[in-house]
Structure 1
Amino acid sequence: MTDCLFCKIVKGEIPSTLIYEDEKVVAFEDINPQAPVHYLVIPKEHIQSAAHIDEYNKELIGHVFFIASKIAKDKRLDTGYRIVNNCGIDGGQTVGHIHFHILGKRKMLWPPG
């Protein structure tokens, strides 16, 4: 998708602070962190949102979570962390490319606050 912010990050057209990359996903620091540790993990393949996960990309989403777990271990988020996905406008999704937030290094509240 040519006008997608995250697709442009994947292509290197927009700079980001990458913390991980493989053939399927990239992870980078969030530019508006909501916790001392705040990373985004996104598939390189453009998927609009969680509502668009299907038979063809379900393994890719599993890989995203595997990498999120690996990053949490590598970054020593030993006391816990939160993985967040917002789906659709009413769900708080602001970029139309599925992405998962890893938040850590602070006590998480529920409801979020």
Structure 2
Amino acid sequence: MGNMAKNKSETCIFCLIANDQDKETEVIKKNKELVCFRDIDPAAPHHYLVVPIQHIHSCLSLRRGHIGLVKRMAEMGKTVLHDQGVTDMKDIRLGFHQPPFTSVDHLHLHVLAPSSQISKHMQYKFIPRTSRFVTEECLQKHLKDNAPPVLSEESLNQNEPHGKDALCFPCWNTTAMATL
């Protein structure tokens, strides 16, 4: 492991959790590639994070070759929900925040259930098809199409409509917020 990767794994909280170096976080499920644990600020009765053990900065870092990783992250999330007694798999939400809306610079999948019970004061963080929250299906589609996985920061800052290469969600705007 290079110095840069080693330094990141020593300071990134998700790297510490994934490598069993954080004694406060209870790992719910782990394999050789992924780890799942509860979100420290849950937005729903079941709110878990699935992270790769390898440090990957964010969904901006993903390419076509990462489709399988995204699928496996979603599969682990669904398995954990099932193991925790969640039976209505239609009332779940799986997705990623993209910069600048990330709080930890380590790729992580939010797994929420029931999505109908997401806290009112946190709903805005988990609205599908917005620039803030990219569903795992949408991310997989764009990785498969080899399109850029997210909007450019310039486009986000200018609130410009995005073109054919943008993610499969309408432009994020106050109309989406008004529906909450």
- On whether the aligned pair clears a TM of 0.5, the verdict is yes
Which of the numbers 56, 63, 71 marks the counterpart of 2:72? 63
Q: Give 5+ residue unaligned stretches, structure 2.
A: 1-7, 128-179
Structure 1 stretches of 5 or more lacking a match?
none
**Aligned match of 2:60:** 51
**1:77 partner SS:** coil
TM-score under structure 2 length normalisation: 0.55
Matched length: 111
Higher RCO structure (Cα 8 Å, ≥6 apart): 1
Looking at secondary structure, tell me which structure has more helix per residue.
Answer: 2
Q: Which has the higher strand share?
A: 1
Whole-Å separation in 1 of the counterparts to 2:62 and 2:115: 30
Q: Which residue of 2 aligns with 1:95?
A: 104
Conserved? CA contact 1:26–1:43, under 8 Å: yes
Q: In terms of Rg, which structure is larger?
A: 2
CA RMSD of aligned residues (A): 2.0
Picking from 4, 17, 33, the partner of 1:9 is: 17
Contact 1:40 1:100 in 2 (8 A): yes
Query: Identity, % of aligned pairs?
Result: 25
Distance apart, 1:76 and its partner CA: 2.7
TM-score by length of 1: 0.84
